[in-house]
Amino acid sequence: MEHASPLGDTVGMTTTRVRIREDFPAAPVCPHCGKDIHELAARRVESLLGVRFVYYCADCRKVLGVSHRKGFWMG
Ligand SMILES: [Zn+2]
């Protein structure tokens, strides 16, 4: 499935359209250990700012990202 991305619609002299391919066959690669990511570990983190999820490599356990679900007062 392909769909247009909002990337590139920012202010500037040039605009680059970026396609998002959800059917891309290659697995993502962990930037830390360089291995293909077939499993992504997620851990629920509760804080005063709300519930977030930390995503990390199941192989080397280095953190790849954190969900940006905002607190209840931020919508
Ligand atoms: Zn890794």
Domain holding 61, by residue range, is: 2-74
Q: Please say whether the beta carbons of 41 and 12 come within 8 A.
A: no
- Quote the ligand 1 centre to 41 CA distance (angstroms): 10
How far is CA 67 from each of CA 6, 28, 51, rounded to the nearest angstrom? 19, 18, 9
Task: Spell out which residues have Cβ within 5 A of ligand 1, the ion.
Answer: 30, 32-33, 57, 59-60
Whether the predicted pLDDT of 28 surpasses 90:
yes
Distance from residue 27's CA to the centre of ligand 1 (Å): 13
Provide the domain count of the chain: 1
Contact partners, residue 11, CB within 8 Å, separation at least 6: none
**Per-residue model confidence (pLDDT) at position 71:** 52
Distance 57 CA to ligand 1 centre (A): 5
Q: How far apart are CA 49 and CA 58, in angstroms?
A: 26
Using pLDDT thresholds of 50, 70 and 90, give the confidence band for residue 14.
confident
Residue 75 has pLDDT above 50, yes or no: no
Q: Are 6 and 18 in contact (CB under 8 A)?
A: no
What is the pLDDT confidence band of residue 58, given thresholds at 50, 70 and 90? very high
% residues pLDDT > 70 (the chain): 75
